[in-house]
Chains A and B, each alone.
Chain A
Amino acid sequence: MSAHTDTMLYLDGVSVAFDGFKAINNLAIIVKPAEMLAIIGPNGAGKTTMMDIITGKTRPDTGQVLFDGRTDLTRLDEAAIANLGIGRKFQKPTVFESQTVWDNLEMALKKPRGIFSTLFYTASDDDVARITEILETVRLIARKDELAANLSHGQKQWLEIGMLLAQDPKLLLVDEPVAGMTDSETEETAKLLREISQTRSVVVVEHDMSFVRELGSRVVCLAEGSVLAEGSLDQVSANPVVIERYLGR
């Protein structure tokens, strides 16, 4: 275990099967602190299942999943893992549509999550300032009192990223963040993620190759539940197996 102290996320030998179908097969991935990792791969490669395993939604059949080099994530539930400092953005933007943008962020804000501390919670000036700051970062300040349901698809993506920021996690899992965004928004997102990765670990799953290129990070290509290739984007996309299985000739 001590060997993994310099990792933020450590997966080794992870397998999970649904009714005999191996969604994840002997997967091994390492993310270091303050490092960005992009994960690419065809549909059904197990990207979302991998995120489910890390965040406690799915229990792996075998394998080791360690956070911060010491915490065994396979024993914890979703809430406990989230409170450890792992934030997740879903493939489909999932924000609380019947509540305002502000309330969405207020709920995400890193504060005690207990029943009575939330019942008697009153936003302090610091909290208000922090939420306002995030709203500016994700460019939703003008729409802070609107229902999240009224946002466009791209804006919902931004709101969810904002909620991630409000959670102040050590590790961010971001599933297809730029789907439905315009080119300039995509560019902004890449910039924001690069900025975040200065201080935190970020795992991005994305199909958009130009976006992955902009991230400029290490890339892992998944296929059929295990790692196909690893390295810089150029290295991975030059890999003949990757071309065969994913990119196409």
Chain B
Amino acid sequence: MLTQALFRALDKKAIWVIAIFLAVAVLVPMANLLIPPGQYGHVPTYLVSLMGKYLAYAILALALDLVWGYCGILSLGHGAFFALGGYAMGMYLMRQIGSRGVYGNPVLPDFMVFLNYSELPWFWLGMDNFWFAMLMVVFVPGLLAFVFGFFAFRSRVTGVYLSIITQAMTFALLLAFFRNDMGFGGNNGLTDFKDILGVSVQAQSTRATLFAATAIALALSVLVCSMIVNSKLGKVMIAVRDAESRTRFLGYRVEYVKLFAFTVSAIMAGIAGALYVPQVGIINPSEFDPANSIEVVIWTAVGGRGTLIGPIIGAIVVNLGKSWFTTTLPELWLFALGALFVFTTLFLPKGIVGLWHQAWGRMRRKTEHAERPAPPTPAQSADIERGEDPASFGHEAQPKPAE
């Protein structure tokens, strides 16, 4: 069963994407470590970490795409899962500092000494063990998503309502993590990391390794997503996205389908966060900011949702743009981002990938005079796009009162 599913996952374009990121995982660290600085082809270490950060974002965008692009659930709280994974990793890294902190306490991180903690809170126990911490990286976001999703999907909270309560969820976590007595370092979060698995976080080889790990994690994420979306479950997910109640009348438990996608996606987001934290060296409550979660949505939308490559492209392109803007024209970045939101939703509903498909399809039709049937008309695909019950298909674009 599993082998068949894997085989199915590896056909089509997914295998190319996976191969590319595996190659990147090998080549970039090699270019960094083996080619001496100054020589042609050398990749400086800061760039390796920057690219590693982008790839972690790409995993996050892919995770969101699994729920939004394929299952129609627009989560505005995926940043929360990302941050929770990041915090789990950050806790492990804090415990590795040991007595090298400013206060020299062998057990308690600096901020706890500062806040007069006498002993480690219970949820910090065991976080000095790498494998336990990694378990928490997947378990905590997964559990939150499972519990949250279980209640939300069971009572059929859908559409914008779900979006708003996911936003409320991450907002509540933002407020909670800002509190000093939560035991997560409050405002400042967790930082000043020293070691990971016994080697320095700052070391060039560690940075290259972290990059490779991120690239491999991205390749694996593509594999998992490809396996899911190419299975019959993937088809049911799309069915849920397009016509939720019809799927129910076919006998599928829509709430479980959504719950599965949501939980898997949250776990992926958590892993992305865990890979992100050691590369940027800090995790603080601002990662829970609802604005961050919405930014993830725009990466996915720009790249093209409902495709596996789209969110990856989107995450990388938008963040490249962000890096460029914030260094050269910092005051214009928010204008650019805002305009990107408006432009993408109005003119690029299928993102870059959709644009490319369109251009490619037009070119091919011209050369082949293909007798292939016409692709769905724009109106029809807009209907599908909406993710609405087909009962309402065929209407013109018109406002409907919220349900």
Binding site for B on A (CB under 8 A): 55, 57, 77-79, 82-83, 87-88, 90, 92-99, 103, 106-108, 113-115, 118-122, 146-147, 149-150, 163, 167
Contact = CB atoms under 8 A, between A and B. Distances in A.
Contact of A119 (B228, B239, B252, B390): B228
A5 B24 CA distance: 67
A98 B252 contact: no
A149 B381 contact: yes
The 10 closest A-B pairs by CB, nearest first: A82-B251, A78-B248, A120-B1, A118-B233, A121-B232, A119-B233, A98-B384, A94-B390, A83-B251, A149-B376
Interface centre among B4, B251, B253, B391 (most CB of A within 10 A): B251
A96 B393 CA distance: 11
Given A115-B260, A149-B381, A97 B248 contact: no
Contacts of A79: 248, 251-254
A69 to B, nearest CB: 21
B248 A82 contact: yes
Contacts of A77: 248
Interface in B3-24: 4-5, 8
Given A97-B393, A115-B260, A150-B374, A90 B231 contact: no
Contact of B393 (A92, A113, A121, A167): A92
Contact of A113 (B242, B251, B390): B251
Contact of A120 (B4, B246, B253, B380): B4
B390 A92 contact: yes
A117 to B, nearest CB: 9
A122 B248 contact: no
Interface residues of B, number: 41
A99 B246 CA distance: 14
A96 B239 contact: yes
Interface of B: 1-2, 4-5, 8, 227-228, 231-233, 235-236, 238-239, 242-243, 245-254, 256-257, 260, 373-374, 376, 380-381, 383-384, 389-391, 393-394
Contacts of B384: 97-98, 149
B239 A115 contact: no
A88 B249 contact: yes
Interface centre among A83, A87, A98, A167 (most CB of B within 10 A): A98
27 contacts: A78-B248, A79-B248, A79-B251, A79-B254, A82-B251, A88-B249, A92-B391, A92-B393, A93-B390, A94-B389, A94-B391, A95-B390, A96-B238, A96-B390, A97-B384, A99-B239, A99-B242, A107-B239, A107-B252, A115-B256, A119-B5, A119-B228, A120-B231, A121-B232, A149-B376, A163-B250, A167-B250
A55 B227 CA distance: 33
Given A79-B252, A113-B253, A98 B238 contact: yes
A186 to B, nearest CB: 22
Contacts of A120: 1-2, 4-5, 231
B373 A97 contact: no
Contacts of B4: 120, 122
Given A79-B253, A115-B257, A120-B1, A99 B235 contact: yes
A83 B253 CA distance: 10
A40 to B, nearest CB: 22
Contacts of B249: 55, 78, 82, 87-88
Q: Is the interface of B mostly helix, strand, loop or mixed?
A: helix
Contact of B238 (A93, A99, A108): A99
Interface centre among B4, B236, B384 (most CB of A within 10 A): B236
Contacts of B391: 90, 92, 94
A97 B251 contact: no
A114 B362 CA distance: 40
Given A82-B248, A94-B390, A119 B231 contact: yes
A146 B251 contact: no
Given A106-B235, A122-B1, A150-B373, A96 B253 contact: no
Interface centre among A87, A94, A103 (most CB of B within 10 A): A94
A27 to B, nearest CB: 21
Nearest to A110: B251
Contacts of A96: 238-239, 242-243, 246, 390
A172 B393 CA distance: 24
Contacts of A115: 233, 256-257, 260
Contacts of B381: 98, 149
Nearest to B255: A79
Given A99-B235, A108-B250, A120-B4, 20 more contacts: A57-B245, A82-B248, A83-B251, A88-B249, A92-B391, A94-B389, A96-B242, A97-B384, A98-B384, A107-B232, A107-B252, A118-B236, A119-B228, A119-B232, A119-B233, A121-B232, A121-B233, A149-B376, A150-B374, A167-B251
A146 B371 CA distance: 13
Contacts of B8: 122
A87 B390 CA distance: 17
A95 B238 CA distance: 12
A54 to B, nearest CB: 11
Nearest to B387: A98
Nearest to A173: B249
Contacts of B383: 97, 149
A133 to B, nearest CB: 19
A97 B390 contact: yes
Contacts of A114: 256
A120 B232 CA distance: 8
A106 B248 contact: no
Contacts of B256: 114-115
Interface centre among B5, B232, B242, B243 (most CB of A within 10 A): B232
